């Protein structure tokens, strides 16, 4: 890894902002990627940035550029990414070249989105996923990164058979082990749903089965709308419940679309608003934009006629102002 000037600003913020229950968590297995970089990476090729570049004369472009496209947010990788080694490697290298910390989401489990159904697909088999995630990890290597593993994966059990559940927790556990063993400067987080889905005790049990002991922590509210305070209460309860297994873990919260909270709907609900941009602290270890504001959840709600992941400029524009 190239020599870099280290920034202590974000690391200091972490020390001040992490809730007391998280300070009792087991020490991280990996080096701190925050202190190795000078802030979060802004992807110049994100969906919003690409739309703004292609539509500079659109009346919505200036707001989408300043309020969304220029904010740090995660890039998602799955079966649409093609050669995963090349896709992840290029993304992480671009961030590394400017001394920034990339945010990545791995989303390729077989049978993903079992309950929602709008983002189905994923790797064709358990073996294919194991190979895919191994390549994902290898592409990061020793460079700093934050990775959220498989949104919805531990919340979907009610829509799966026991065999499918067993296979899933095995894949997640092996994935967490891969990051621990082969990506020494990556913080990996298993997805833990949201406050309106699975009770904290049950989620802690699922996280433990899925190998969160080998991950840095867990992620909440990915692609959902619950307020940060609701997620903080839930996250602290999950972290506390993990202590019965002999350890605890920190957590991050997706704040990309939670500015107006949840109205009880999850699939492109109207009237939502962007939340606090990616930063350390904020009630959790980090609050992060994991879902891209304006990207569709599927053919539903205000995104009727769209496909999951499609960038919708009108939805993005309204999300800036909360209407």
Separation of alpha carbons 307 and 285, rounded Å: 32
Query: Is 58 marked active-site?
Result: no
152, 156, 191, 254: which one is catalytic? 152
CB 183 within 8 A of CB 140: yes
Rounded Cα distance between 219 and 231, Å, is 10
Q: Which residues contact 149 (CB under 8 A, 6 or more apart)?
A: 106, 172, 175, 176, 188, 189, 190, 191, 215
How many Å apart are CA 158 and CA 151, to the nearest integer?
15
With 0-12 / 13-18 / 19 or more C-beta atoms within 10 angstroms meaning exposed / middle / buried, residue 181 is exposed
Binding site annotation covers 291?
yes
Does the active-site annotation cover 297?
yes
Consecutive H or E run containing 145? strand 145-149
**Angle formed by the axes of helices 84-97 and 126-140, to 10°?**
20
Query: Which residues partner with 188 through β-bridges?
Result: 147
Residue 132 marked in a binding site? no
Q: Does the annotation place 150 within a ligand binding site?
A: no
Residues 156 and 164 sit within 8 Å (Cβ to Cβ): no
Establish whether 289 is an annotated binding residue.
no
Q: Residue 240 has what DSSP assignment?
A: H
Residue 197, annotated as binding a ligand: yes
Q: Which residues contact 15 (CB under 8 A, 6 or more apart)?
A: none
Q: Is 76 annotated as a binding residue?
A: yes
Q: Which residues are catalytic?
A: 152, 297
Binding residues for substrate: 76, 197, 224, 266, 291, 295
């Amino acid at each position: 890894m190239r020599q870099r000037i280290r920034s202590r600003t974000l690391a200091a913020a972490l020390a001040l902002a992490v809730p007391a229950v998280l300070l009792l968590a087991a020490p991280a297995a990996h080096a701190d990627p925050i202190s190795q970089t000078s802030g979060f990476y802004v992807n110049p090729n994100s969906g919003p940035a690409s739309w703004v570049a292609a539509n500079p004369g659109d009346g919505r472009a200036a707001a989408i550029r300043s309020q969304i496209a220029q904010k740090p947010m995660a890039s998602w990788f799955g079966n649409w990414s093609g050669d995963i080694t090349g896709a992840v490697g290029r993304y992480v290298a671009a961030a590394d070249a400017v001394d920034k910390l990339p945010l990545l989401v791995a989303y390729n489990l077989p049978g993903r989105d079992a309950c929602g159904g709008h983002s189905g697909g994923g790797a064709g088999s358990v073996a294919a996923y194991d190979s895919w995630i191994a390549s994902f990890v290898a592409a990061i290597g020793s460079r700093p990164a934050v990775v959220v593993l498989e949104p919805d994966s531990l919340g979907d059990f009610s829509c799966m058979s026991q065999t499918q559940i067993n296979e899933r927790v095995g894949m997640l556990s092996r994935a967490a082990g891969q990051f621990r063993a082969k990506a020494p400067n990556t913080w990996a987080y298993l997805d833990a749903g949201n406050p309106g889905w699975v009770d904290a005790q049950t989620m802690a049990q699922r996280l433990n089965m899925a190998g969160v002991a080998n991950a840095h922590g867990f992620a909440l509210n990915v692609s959902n709308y619950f307020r940060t305070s609701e997620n903080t209460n839930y996250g602290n309860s999950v972290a506390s419940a993990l202590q019965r297994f002999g350890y605890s873990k920190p957590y991050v919260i997706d704040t990309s679309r939670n500015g107006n909270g949840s109205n009880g709907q999850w699939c492109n609900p109207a009237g939502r608003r962007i939340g606090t941009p990616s930063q350390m602290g904020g009630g959790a270890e980090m609050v992060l934009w994991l879902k891209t504001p304006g990207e569709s959840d599927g053919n539903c709600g205000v995104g009727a006629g769209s496909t999951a992941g499609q960038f919708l400029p009108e939805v993005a524009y309204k999300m800036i102002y909360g209407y």
